[in-house]
Structure 1
Amino acid sequence: MEDVETAEEGLGKQHRKEKKDLQAKIQSMKNAVPKNDKKRRKQLIEEIAKLEADLNQKHEEELKQVKSPCAVGDKKVEAVVNGVEGLDLETEELKEAKHGRGPSKAQKRREKKAAVDRERDARIAEAEVENLTGLRHLERLKLAQKLAERRLQIREISSDGHCMYRAVEDQLSQHAMGLTVKELRTQTAQYMKSHADDFLPFLTNANTGDQYTSDEFEKYCGDVAESAAWGGHLELRALTQVLQLPIEVIQADSPAIIIGEEFDKQPITLIYMRHAFGLGEHYNSVERQMEPATPEQS
């Protein structure tokens, strides 16, 4: 078992290096394609998807080989080792049977660990399939194509309940407007509380379906200000009023929407992703694509 774990650890390091190398190669490929060549950019997205899929398949096959007892080391040696281990277990079981005992604590721990390992491996395999063929992967491809047409790229924001506010904070920093997540949350809650009639009709109790009471709305605003409560369309509407500028939201499967169009200013831009994580929706920021290095720079 220790040899297998050691092999897995070494393989994991190799896989991480190969993924890092692939990302560097992908970035180089992106830099080599002119931003205004839409046909080539589309082909590039497909090429990148295939490279990622091929690497993931290679890693899966290598991991399976490491975990397969017949694929590691010399088969004859392993047969002997397995035979010895089998004799040890048989001897232990015979001893336990003679004394009328069930499985030992050590055996139970081994079985429990094996079950946990099998469940973990199954989850990893499912996640890899989902990443390559599922909605999350398709959503990223569509967004990448939309952003490439505008010479933009996704700027990743951490998924911690504050993602919408962090994305706004990031956008503001790119426009030299310094507001923290805490300040954004506090001002959003204050605006909503002072304009309750504009927000209360859109909030309903999930259990009863009834419109929020004043107390429920007060608690809702308190969560906006003080907790990691997820932000959505209502909070974005409040933020446009707080910031006095429009907010554009780009999505994969529908046209971009602009909230706060009454403000005649350049909007800040967010990315809304339905399938980014296991919990569902997520907001990211955007940034200008890196310009390819010129011969003089390189």
Structure 2
Amino acid sequence: MEEETPEEQLVKQQRKEKKDLQAKIQSMKNAVPKNDKKRRKQLTEEIVKLEADLSQKHEEEIGQLQSTPATNVKVEELVNGVETVEVEDREQEEVKQTRVSKAQKRREKKATQDKERESRIAEAEVENLQGVRHQEGVKLAQKLAQQQLQIKEISSDGHCMYRAIEDQLAQRSKAGLTMNVKRLRSQTAEFMRGHVDDFLPFLTNPNTGDMFTTEEFEKYCSEVELTAAWGGQLELRALTQVLQLPIEVIQADTPAIKIGEEYKSEQITLVYMRHAYGLGEHYNSVERLKEPANAEDS
């Protein structure tokens, strides 16, 4: 094995000292909290001094080395050039590895979340097929099919009962009777105010159980008129009088409710769904049953 020259020995020694110093500096940085600005400032000054002292020491060692000017150049290139490149390359590689590691962790986390979400959706779908919501839909479809009808979906926004009636009226627009949700609500509230004795006995304070006071009844009517408060049987009773039309409400597990049977006009048909939405009861409209596609024509 060829013996190392003094220049090579010096370069090896100085490389090791630089590596040791970098390790020491990193340890010092890790020991000081990032939010301790005063201590971080002192640390920066200490690091600068340590690096300057080591640099001066290396320069003095190179100067003391007995060699030709060419050798000095070679030593300086080895110490300051090659070593600097190696340090920079190593630091860049560490940064790159850190970035890749963080990106990989983000991808793995997202993949795990997506997998969990898909699993929850699949479980919900299975539960839905086996649960009351699905059974309710099947029963309603069977009942409606007997009248050659099917459900027509209405948005669930608090106005569903009024929107379902609006849709029913629009389907029979040839009769000349159309009303939008705002007008339906307004006329319902107006009718209830004008027939207090027909509605007040059925309204009680949920906290006390007592019948509504006059003020509470007026507040209730205002909510019917001006808010997205859900409608129920009281509002349907008022609407049969306003529209002078019979209203039929089809339900899954109980016989259909018929209101306003004294009117002989073509009835309005609604579907009441108890389990369709997590928020509670919901009304849909109906439409004529669509013929299934003929397999021979496909």
Q: Of residues 99, 110, 134 in structure 2, which corresponds to 1:137?
A: 134
The letter for the 1-side match of 2:250 is I
The letter for the 2-side match of 1:159 is S
**Compared with structure 1, are the counterparts of its residues 217 and 141 closer, same or farther at alpha carbon in structure 2 (3 Å cutoff)?**
same
Q: Give 1:285 deviation, angstroms.
A: 0.4
**Compared with structure 1, are the counterparts of its residues 229 and 281 closer, same or farther at alpha carbon in structure 2 (3 Å cutoff)?**
same
**Compared with structure 1, are the counterparts of its residues 137 and 215 closer, same or farther at alpha carbon in structure 2 (3 Å cutoff)?**
same
Distance in 1 of aligned mates of 2:241 and 2:145:
30
Distance in 2 of aligned mates of 1:115 and 1:232:
44
Q: How does 1:162-201 map to 2 (within 5 A)?
A: 162-176=159-173, 177-201=177-201
**1:126-181 deviation line (CA, Å, top 9, x unaligned):** 53233211110000011111111211110000000000000000001111121000
Q: Give 1:99 deviation, angstroms.
A: 4.3
Distance in 2 of aligned mates of 1:146 and 1:133:
20
**1:62-88 deviation line (CA, Å, top 9, x unaligned):** xxxxxxxxxxxxxxxxxxxxxxxxxxx
| Structure 1 counterpart of 2:214 | 214
Distance in 2 of aligned mates of 1:119 and 1:260:
51
| Residue aligned with 1:198, SS | helix
RMSD: 3.4
TM-score (ref. length: structure 2): 0.59
Distance in 2 of aligned mates of 1:292 and 1:241:
38
**1:163-218 deviation line (CA, Å, top 9, x unaligned):** 00000000011111210000000000000011011111111111111111111110
Answer with 1 or 2: which has the greater Rg. 2
**Compared with structure 1, are the counterparts of its residues 190 and 122 closer, same or farther at alpha carbon in structure 2 (3 Å cutoff)?**
farther
Q: Percent identity?
A: 69
For structure 2, the 5+ residue unaligned runs are 1-26, 34-101
Q: Give 1:117 deviation, angstroms.
A: 6.5
Distance in 2 of aligned mates of 1:239 and 1:119:
47
Distance in 2 of aligned mates of 1:167 and 1:123:
32
| Residue aligned with 2:216, SS | helix
Does structure 2 retain, via aligned residues, the 8 Å contact 1:130–1:136? no
The letter for the 1-side match of 2:291 is E
| Structure 1 counterpart of 2:287 | 287
Distance in 2 of aligned mates of 1:207 and 1:135:
30
TM-score (ref. length: structure 1): 0.59
Q: What is the number of residues matched between the two proteins? A: 199
**Compared with structure 1, are the counterparts of its residues 226 and 120 closer, same or farther at alpha carbon in structure 2 (3 Å cutoff)?**
farther
**1:95-134 deviation line (CA, Å, top 9, x unaligned):** 9xx6488xxxx9xx97998998788557534532332111
Distance in 1 of aligned mates of 2:290 and 2:187:
34
**1:210-259 deviation line (CA, Å, top 9, x unaligned):** 11111111011000000000000000000000000110000011111110
| Structure 1 counterpart of 2:256 | 256
